[in-house]
Structure 1
Amino acid sequence: MEWLRNSLIVLSVMPVLPFVLVYFIAALSGMDKRRALLLAMDVTTVFLLFSVSALFNNLFHSGFGFYLFLLFVLLAAGFIGGAQNRLKGRLDGKRLLRAVWRLGFVVMSSGYVLFMVVGMVKYILQKM
């Protein structure tokens, strides 16, 4: 069980690794490149959620990071679901979940890069 815990920690700290692993495994197994990319995005979103919330908590000395991102996900689901209801007259849960999940990937990837850069700059400036 310890190796599983350590593996999850490493994959959460460096969410680029699960993205690359899933993409290459899916592509090598015969899946077309677009579907492999989307699968890699879906799997990596879980690791990005934990990583970005931990970076947020570390940078701002808070314990609210996970809940803040959960709030953003719920708000995005509400906005996208409302737009879907206005445009089509009904709510398609599968498409809504997929849209929110992939939007979360894009936002959290940006947040990961931003928080990593800010964290490294903050660390370097503290050591000077």
Structure 2
Amino acid sequence: MKRMPQLASLLLSCATLTTASCSKENAAPSGPKEYQLEDRVTSTTAPESDYLSYDNESGGTTALNHVPLPATYHFKYPRKPGDQLSLLASLDGGEAAAEITASILLDGRAVKKETSRSANAPAVPVYVIGQ
């Protein structure tokens, strides 16, 4: 019986530590974090994208014309919650059955993917970090 207060105190201490560590794990980081960003563009109907633009590693936008498909761009990217990532890929004219898929991956995990099927086929996935 003399050990009951000590045991209760020990259990209370363990519960407090567990709760504190859980709340820290679930809290979203407020500052920038370096992500491994990967943009992928594919098409089952066209050999190239007539226009492609993506957010690059310096925070600017890279725009390219006549890009052979499939195309993949990857780099490290420091961003914080609430920051937006976007990718735009299109096909020029073509058939009504034209198809293009654009995907954004963060740290190897697909976070946004869009497939478009039309004569001009623009695919524009946009992802907000922490979404």
TM-score exceeds 0.5: no
Give the TM-score normalised by the residue count of structure 2: 0.22
Q: Give the number of the structure whose alpha-carbon radius of gyration is greater.
A: 2
Determine which structure has the larger helix proportion and give its number: 1
